[in-house]
Amino acid sequence: MTFRHPNSIPDLYQTFNILQPISPLYPGFSNWYWNKVVTGIITGNDKIIIAEKKDELVGVSIIKKGSENKLRALRISKKFQNKGSGLYLLDQSLKELGVDKPIVSVAEEMINDFSRIFINRYYFNMTHVYKNLYRKNKLEYEFNGTQNLKEKTPY
Listed by start position, the domains of the chain span 2-151
For residue 18, the model assigns a pLDDT of 95
Q: pLDDT band for 9, please (50, 70, 90 cuts).
A: very high
C-beta neighbour count of 113 within 10 angstroms: 13
DSSP secondary structure letters along 51-79? EEETTEEEEEEEEE-SSS-EEEEEEE-GG
**Closest-CA residue to 22 (of 72, 86, 69):** 72
User: Is pTM beyond 0.85 here?
Assistant: yes
pLDDT tens, residue by residue, 45-82: 899 999 999 989 999 999 998 888 999 999 999 999 98
CB 58 within 8 A of CB 66: no
Coil, strand or helix at 145: coil
Q: Where are the beta strands (DSSP E) in 67-138?
A: 70-76, 104-107, 126-131
CATH architecture of 2-151: 3-Layer(aba) Sandwich (3.40)
Please report, for residues 33, 38, 96, 97, 144, the alpha-carbon distance to residue 48 in angstroms, rounded to integers and kept in the order given.
11, 9, 10, 11, 21
